[in-house]
Amino acid sequence: MDNRIQELRKARHISQAELADAMNVTRQTIISLEKGRYNASLELAYKLAIFFQLSIEEIFLFDLNQDD
């Protein structure tokens, strides 16, 4: 599943470490999310949505035809 986390983070001048701290996850988790190697849990998706003040759909780009 694609996402806009890196784009949103950079637009707000937030480091991976700062976002990881705010989400209570490791920096490696943020890196994996940004690279598409890890899908966020529902809890983390909600936390990111609240943090960026966007809906989950605005952050995570779901494609029904994608085989993830």
Spatial separation of the C-alpha atoms in residues 25 and 2, rounded to whole Å: 19
Give the model confidence (pLDDT) of 35-67 as tens digits.
999 999 999 999 999 999 999 999 999 876 765
Structure tokens at 13: 């001048």
Map out the domains of the chain as residue ranges: 2-57
Q: In this predicted structure, what is the pLDDT of residue 67?
A: 58
Domain 2-57 in CATH 3.30.360.10? The answer is: no
Exposure on the CB side of residue 47, measured as CA atoms within 13 A: 13
In single-letter form, the type of residue at position 7 comes to E
Q: What is the pLDDT of residue 62?
A: 80
For 2, the 3-state DSSP assignment is strand
pLDDT at 68 exceeding the cut of 80 = no
Q: What is the pLDDT of residues 3-29, one digit of tens each?
A: 999 999 999 999 999 999 999 999 999
